[in-house]
Structure 1
């Protein structure tokens, strides 16, 4: 059991795989376990989950820096971005980064748009001819961070900016509220169960998006039977029916993360990542994700009990709230 940032994590080994699956703090586990037990005793009703949905939505809005009325609820990043892709004129030109996560790019390609990949550090200066820029704030493959200030300065007034914050929200404080889309899945750095995702939409884009996936939840309890179509007036009209247990967990993890000192969280995670970088003679960085390309790194880390992933030919390490100096030192000992 580990104690960090005012809570506890039931983690004994060296878990550095948050970029794949986040480890929830114990209050999240307890909330979901309680909900599962109530379900198993037939003590569950659908309306009782509305509070969790509203709480998680408001916390996501706080983390992004937007009003809750601009946040739509979904289950996956790709599903939410499919709505955006479907709203664009045919053959729109979409600019993205090399090796971008395919949940960001595939919805646009599948919708018939032209998707152009460029180097991450060149992306801001290449936005002039793009209708849309779609990029992760922090790259899944290696932790590279897009230059948000440069992107905001370079992007034209008619170009839509779509940001996937799945690998950044929860540890990286950043001004994201200016973008047309900020989307994130909740089961990584946001430490919620899989099945919860959110998307913040600018007013100018929300006017263009057709809620083609709308079901009863997009209209609420007064819209569960019969016509005519009646949807919420704000971004909730794009909502999918929630995965209840995921929302129960998110309603605990997201407000807690939003209550923390964001700079302290960033310094903790990046500090541990840089402890590893220094020990491996790598340049210091600003990301909580470290890509280790040393020969045999993944096998040596696994033998030392370090849990991580292999992405892009490198061992990918992600440092979050539950990690410690000892975790970083175990990595260095394994790779020495």
Structure 2
């Protein structure tokens, strides 16, 4: 398979869907796996271990995506729950720095646990100072598509021994990065990872986990998921101690989607998505950018809708986002509608 030419044939996307930043579309293999699981549930033709195997496969797929190992990956249902769990690592009276336009799932949990300071995303590294305990930020901002200066932020944070937590919900699956220098990477998988909503992952470093408390401790966090009844509470020695009991069908869909991303490779997906995004920018009279998300003020979203183009409006701006199932035809259809 010529990955970037033929990938669109692995999807059933209608033309004009430019809204992956809101939710991604499943590859055919993912939707078929989910259909099979729903049929099994309907008929009672299998036990849950079949679906749980997909959960293990999805965890391994996410670990591979970030060049880490599954024992460092926690599963959940939402990014906000994962951030809330990570926030238990903070000491009393902690102070956390976040961007001033941060999506609330990576803001409200910190506001519940600490005193929050804010700075513009482009000045986040410069705003790091002694007295902070953590810096938390989206790797790609939901409202604007702005890509964080990851290396600068990590360097500044390490100089003051801060915890470094990033939300990669708008980045994982198209933007190449690893866990180097990061204490946590949180990701809601229903966007660029093209999974059903209800699958979420977090990489957590050992130094972070030793400070965390498993507020949502449950049977699934026990070794081998075998802690069904009674005390004592014995949790897994790795990141699985912080697992939520999985919404199985979401992971049935997540596993083949992650398999596809890893097969194609994030660098190739990155190049594909940026080429489309920059074609769109050029048509709007904007300079090239480094994000698969394009925002533009003053665009008439109703014109796009009338032309069968699905995008979003965020912070008063039109937001279009490009992924594997998109082609130049999608870009040109949107530009013609806006012309």
- Structure 2 length normalisation: TM-score? 0.95
1:217 corresponds to: 220
Contact 2:276 2:322 in 1 (8 A): yes
2:292 to 263, 288, 296: 288
Q: State the distance in 1 between where 2:319 and 2:205 align.
A: 33
Contact 2:139 2:166 in 1 (8 A): yes
Contact 2:220 2:226 in 1 (8 A): no
Q: State the distance in 1 between where 2:246 and 2:118 align.
A: 33
- 1:7 Cα deviation (Å)? 4.8
Aligned counterparts, 1:29-44, within 5 A: 29-44=31-46
2:56 corresponds to: 54
- 1:64 Cα deviation (Å)? 1.5
What do the CA deviations read for 1:230-249 (whole angstroms, capped 9, x no partner)? 11111101111000000101
Aligned counterparts, 1:1-336, within 5 A: 4-5=6-7, 7-111=9-113, 113-129=114-130, 130-155=132-157, 156-219=159-222, 220-295=224-299, 297-336=300-339
Q: Which runs of 4+ in 1 moved over 6 A?
A: none
- 1:13 Cα deviation (Å)? 2.6
- 1:322 Cα deviation (Å)? 0.4
Q: State the distance in 1 between where 2:237 and 2:329 align.
A: 50
Contact 2:276 2:331 in 1 (8 A): yes
Contact 1:3 1:9 in 2 (8 A): no
Q: State the distance in 2 between where 1:306 and 1:97 align.
A: 31
SS state at 1:79 partner: helix
Contact 1:66 1:177 in 2 (8 A): no
SS state at 2:117 partner: strand
- 1:328 Cα deviation (Å)? 0.6
Contact 1:181 1:200 in 2 (8 A): yes
SS state at 2:118 partner: strand
What do the CA deviations read for 1:237-292 (whole angstroms, capped 9, x no partner)? 11110000001011111122112132221111011110011111112100000002
Contact 1:3 1:322 in 2 (8 A): no
Q: State the distance in 2 between where 1:221 and 1:301 align.
A: 48
Contact 1:4 1:321 in 2 (8 A): no
SS state at 1:317 partner: strand
What do the CA deviations read for 1:57-99 (whole angstroms, capped 9, x no partner)? 1111111222111111111000011011122112211111121
Q: State the distance in 1 between where 2:303 and 2:8 align.
A: 33
- 1:115 Cα deviation (Å)? 1.1
Contact 1:4 1:322 in 2 (8 A): no
Q: State the distance in 2 between where 1:85 and 1:55 align.
A: 27
Contact 2:8 2:326 in 1 (8 A): no
Q: State the distance in 2 between where 1:7 and 1:331 align.
A: 21
CA separation of 1:221 and 1:261: change in aligned 2, threshold 3 A: closer
Q: State the distance in 2 between where 1:6 and 1:119 align.
A: 37
Query: Over aligned residue pairs, what C-alpha RMSD do you find?
Result: 1.5
**Which stretch of structure 1 is more off in the superposition, 74-83 or 59-68?**
59-68
Q: State the distance in 2 between where 1:50 and 1:154 align.
A: 40
